[in-house]
Amino acid sequence: MKTLRSADIATGFLLAMLGLLTLWASSTITTTMEHRLSPRALPYAVGLLVLFCGIGIAVKAWRFRGPDPEIKWPDGVGIKIITVSLASIGFYNAFMNLLGLPLATFLYITFSIWYLNRAKWLTALLTGLICGIASYYLFIRLLGLSFPEGFFFKG
């Protein structure tokens, strides 16, 4: 019988290992002095975050005392939602170089909010627009990271 506690311990362990792998990989990135922020900074921060979240999930599950609930697997609708969500992440990743970070982020966020029925389409559009513009100014302009800008923002 698969339980939520054992699944959380395994997931926490795997996330912690992924965090360590990310930290190791980010330490191998070669850097030059031409960037305001080192190319290692973002992957290093993400690696630390994933590592600590994984440890937190595993420790919380390990220390949990109480009834151990069984894992409820998704039905056909749940599997469709998971599949479409994973495919949209794949399209986001695949088209980021072509469209640029701001436009790809806008499309991904707008579609995800609309598809998951979390809000009306106008709210999804506005949220996607805010996230796309914020990603441009935060990651490309403010932090100076080398994300693709896309054809809308090329000067």
CA–CA distance, 43 with 49 (Å, rounded to integer): 10
Q: What confidence tier does 153 reach under pLDDT thresholds 50, 70, 90? A: low
Beta-bridged to residue 3, according to DSSP, are: 70
CA–CA distance, 130 with 38 (Å, rounded to integer): 26
Q: In this model, does residue 25 exceed pLDDT 80?
A: yes
- pTM of the full structure: 0.66
Helix 76-99 and helix 101-115, axial crossing angle in degrees, nearest 10: 160
Render pLDDT for 26-40 as a digit per residue (tens, 0 to 9): 988 887 766 667 778
- Going from N- to C-terminal start, the domains of the chain cover 1-72, 75-155
Render pLDDT for 122-131 as a digit per residue (tens, 0 to 9): 999 999 999 9
Render pLDDT for 88-120 as a digit per residue (tens, 0 to 9): 999 999 999 889 999 999 999 999 999 998 778
Q: In this model, does residue 155 exceed pLDDT 80?
A: no
The owner of tokens 């997931």 is 11
The owner of tokens 């992924």 is 18
Average pLDDT of the segment spanning 137-145:
83
The owner of tokens 């970070």 is 101
Q: In this model, does residue 55 exceed pLDDT 90?
A: yes
| Nearest-5° Cα angle at 149, 144 to 151 | 155
Predicted pLDDT of residue 133: 92
Render pLDDT for 41-54 as a digit per residue (tens, 0 to 9): 888 999 999 999 99
Q: What is the DSSP track for 1-60?
A: --BHHHHHHHHHHHHHHHHHHHHHHHHT----TT-SS-TTHHHHHHHHHHHHHHHHHHHH
| Nearest-5° Cα angle at 114, 112 to 115 | 65
Q: Quote the tokens at residue 25.
A: 């990989």
